Amino acid sequence: MAFSVPPPAWLKVCTTCDRYAPVTGSIGERLAQALDEASSAMTSAGRLAFRRVPCLSGCKFPGNIALGASAKTKIRLNRLRPEDADDLVALAELYAASPTGEVPEEDWPVGLKGHLATVIKPRLAGADQSRDQPPQERTSGI
Ligand code: FES
């Protein structure tokens, strides 16, 4: 029986932003399409799992993505646009290379500075991590 190794990072994009716009998903779907293309090399190399999700709980400031991995610090960024896709993939590469998921702010792509909305630290060692599964196991939230 073969076991798959989870990628060192997952990236989720909210496809329902802007939920308050006349056409829901006006920003999120365009961001998702841009990210799908920009992240293709990283996803095909098995270094990133890319998922579209209905909401990342950042609706007040549309254009939300989350970066995470098992036992790493998770982050959510907001107010993103399709033009940010390449910078987001660059950040995802830094995130994947970090054993903790912590990427010093000075290393972030300049275009993403000021977009950090949420930081979630991993649970303490020994705590139940069974809910901290790759995105194909869960479909929403961070
Ligand atoms: S609709 Fe995008 S974060 Fe809620």
10-124 homologous superfamily: Glutaredoxin (3.40.30.10)
User: pLDDT tens for residues 97-114?
Assistant: 999 999 999 999 999 999
Cα(55) to ligand 1 centroid in Å equals 4
Question: What is the rounded distance in angstroms from the CA atom of residue 78 to the CA atom of residue 62?
Answer: 6
Question: What is the rounded distance in angstroms from the CA atom of residue 94 to the CA atom of residue 14?
Answer: 21
Q: Whose CA is nearest to atom 2 of ligand 1?
A: 17
Cβ(14) – ligand 1 distance below 6 Å: yes
Strand 74-77 and strand 10-14: the pairing is unpaired
User: pLDDT tens for residues 79-100?
Assistant: 999 999 999 999 999 999 999 9
Cα(81) to ligand 1 centroid in Å equals 14
